[in-house]
Amino acid sequence: MEATAQGVDEAVRAAHAARGALADRTVRAAFLRTAADRLEGAKDRLVELADAETALGATRLTGELARTCYQLRSFADIVDEGAYLDVVINHPDDTATPPIPDLRRYKVPLGVVAVYSASNFPFAFSVAGGDTASALGAGCPVVVKAHPDHPGLSEQVAAELRAAAAEHGIPEGVVGLVHGFEAGVELVKHPLVAAAGFTGSVRGGRALFDAAAARPVPIPFHGELGSLNPVVVTEAAAAERAEAIGAGLAGSMTLGVGQFCVKPGLVLAPAGEAGDKLVESLSSAVADVDAGVLLDHRMRDNFLAGVTERAELPGVEAPVAAGPGDDEHTVRPGFLTVPADRLAVEGGEHELLLEECFGPLTVVARYADDGEAKALLGRLPGNLTATVHLSEAEAAGEGRGAEILAELTPLAGRVLVNGWPTGVAVAPAQHHGGPYPATTSTSTSVGGTAIERWLRPVAYQGAPEALLPPELRDDNPLGVPRRFNGVLER
């Protein structure tokens, strides 16, 4: 049932009222761990429901649920440690120019966070996903706008989170849930919403981003919108292992029926004999992949229309043609090839090939020389990932390996060498974000530093210790990592 404006208001106000119950870090961490336990306990029921709504398959969904639970526990560990608070204490120093007063700085939660669920990850980027886990870890209640492709699952996961909250004396309103397009718009405009996290399309994300900026009091909007995830294959790498690169590319671009946000959508491959062998390997591997089901019929229709429009462009060939499967629900994977110089002209008729086509399709641009490849890279928008495949000698420092790495760095938040972008590890050093339009901010939605999105710094000057939060007192009663008079203390 779609939420009315009143329903959105009630959910946001209930979340706002629950802020105080998240103040204790020990309670927050325990809540996150209990949420993971409850989701694991309901695994069979939740996976069955998720598969019924998304057709992603029990194996994929079971793994995704495990990732979601691991993520919740990871943020619990981060909350326990306390380093994310970024505590810095400076005692007065009259000898400095200008003199330094007593200053104590740390980070505090922003307030209620609006979370917009993604279609392609019904667990990991949905009600209990990374935005929710990191926001709760920061001490921020959430109101989630459920994705219409898995409404029943959204309700069940929210119920588990609320039950986990109740076990620790936290009001169930700490996790709100609303349904409907208009509810999503009302949510980002609500005056008590302090920030938002979104994963979805460029069109939808940009509309919400603009609404967040147009509020009387603008709020941070951390949106993941779209990405080509370019791959560069050097001529030496293709000559050395064309078959392996082709097979690896096929596996990455068709994984999850091409519905991963880091699917490689544009591949720069050499035009010569080594590139021909790569294309042959890719053709063989993609042709062996079965047709699969996209998340809904709207996405299927958009994919088929996008494939047709791209394949009809001059100079574009389809060694393996993507298209409809054997029934009305499935699609077949494929790929297109095009001379790289066709993409070199800004505003030309091949501009469409530089836009993401959501589903199991990639474009292989064949470049004649390094200058042509470099020119094409210079035309690309921001991405979540960028990949380069190098030969053994190039990886050891010979040739243009370092130069290509430097060319890819401005394009993406994660740069890979001799790997494939599908698969985003939940790890402290992970960065899942990139220049616009990949994301609307410079932050990450995966990994420990995702918590930083929902915090703001505050400094106290000259405040008596008796009035300070315990994290900022000299004796550090909570044992929080900090920088104390210039010295990093663990």
- What is the per-residue DSSP string for 319-381? EE--EE-SSTTEEE-EEEEEEGGGG-STT-TTGGGGS---SSEEEEEEESSHHHHHHHHTT--
The closest of 85, 132, 128, 129 to 112, measured between CA atoms, is 132
Active site residue 155: no
Question: Is residue 131 within 8 Å of 11, Cβ to Cβ?
Answer: no
Superfamily, domain 5-225+442-484? Aldehyde Dehydrogenase; Chain A, domain 1 (3.40.605.10)
Report pLDDT for 379: 94
Tokens of 57: 């398959």
- Residue identified by tokens 């039950």 is 163
Cα–Cα dist 361/345, whole Å: 23
Q: Which residues pair with 269 in a beta bridge?
A: 366
Asked if the model's pLDDT at residue 490 lies above 90, the reply is: no
pLDDT band at 290 (very low <50, low <70, confident <90, very high): very high
Q: What is the pLDDT of residue 73?
A: 98
Q: Are 382 and 408 in contact (CB under 8 A)?
A: no
Q: What is the pLDDT of residue 295?
A: 86
CATH T-level topology, domain 231-417:
Aldehyde Dehydrogenase; Chain A, domain 2 (3.40.309)
* Residue owning tokens 């939660």: 109
Query: SS in 3 state form for 190-258?
Result: CCCEEEEEEECCHHHHHHHHHHHHHCCCCCCEEEECCCCCCEEECHHHHHHHHHHHHHHHHHHHHHHHH
Per-residue pLDDT band for 298 (boundaries 50, 70, 90) equals very high
Angle at 406 between CA 396 and CA 231, to 5 degrees: 80
Q: Quick one: tokens of 401? A: 């390996």
- The pLDDT, as a whole number, for residue 362 is 98
Note the pLDDT tens digit of each residue in 445-468. 999 999 999 999 999 999 999 999
Catalytic residue among 224, 235, 356, 394, which?
Answer: 224
Q: What's the rounded mean pLDDT across residues 169-197?
A: 97
Q: Quick: pLDDT tens for 315-348.
A: 999 999 999 999 888 999 999 999 999 998 777 8
CA-based R_g, the chain, Å? 24
pLDDT given at position 390: 98
Report yes or no: 400 and 236 within 8 Å, Cβ to Cβ. Answer: no
- What does the alpha-carbon distance between residue 6 and residue 4 come to, in Å, rounded to a whole number? 5
Residue range 275-290: mean pLDDT, rounded: 98
Q: How far apart are CA 426 and CA 67, in angstroms?
A: 8
Rounded to the nearest 10 degrees, the angle between the axes of helix 43-54 and helix 25-41 is 70
Q: Do domains 5-225+442-484 and 231-417 have the same CATH topology?
A: no
* Phi, then psi, of 280 in degrees rounded to 5: -60, -45
Q: Calculate helix-pair angle for 181-189, 202-214, nearest 10 degrees.
A: 30
How many C-beta atoms lie closer than 10 Å to residue 90's C-beta? Answer: 18
User: HSE on the CB side for 161, CA within 13 Å?
Assistant: 28
Question: Cβ(443)–Cβ(452) under 8 Å?
Answer: yes
Cα maximum dimension of the chain: 79
What's the average model confidence in pLDDT over 408-419? Answer: 98
In what side-by-side order are the strands of the sheet with 317-320?
Answer: 317-320, 334-339, 361-367, 266-270, 231-233, 383-389, 412-417
pLDDT at site 409: 97
Q: Is the backbone peptide bond immediately before 360 cis, with ω within 30 degrees of 0?
A: no
| Number of Cβ atoms within 10 Å of the Cβ of 398 | 13
- Neighbouring-strand partners of residue 332: 323
Does the annotation mark 357 as catalytic?
no
Buried b (16+ CB within 10 A) or exposed e, 141-156: bbbbbbbbbbbebbeb
Given 261, 357, 407, 471, the catalytic residue? 261
Q: The whole model's pTM is what? A: 0.94
Domain ranges, ordered by start, for the chain: 5-225+442-484, 231-417
- Stretch 341-368: mean pLDDT: 92
Question: CA distances (Å), 459 to each of 139, 286, 301, 468, in order?
Answer: 18, 56, 53, 11
Q: What is the mean pLDDT of the chain?
A: 96
- CA angle, 444 then 151 then 15, to 5°: 60
What 3-state class would DSSP assign to 143? strand
In the chain, the percentage of residues whose pLDDT exceeds 70 is 100
User: What is the predicted pLDDT for the residue at 162?
Assistant: 98
CA 355 to CA 379: how far, in whole Å? 12
Residue 437's nearest CA partner among 229, 298, 127 is: 229
* Cβ count near 327 (within 10 Å): 8
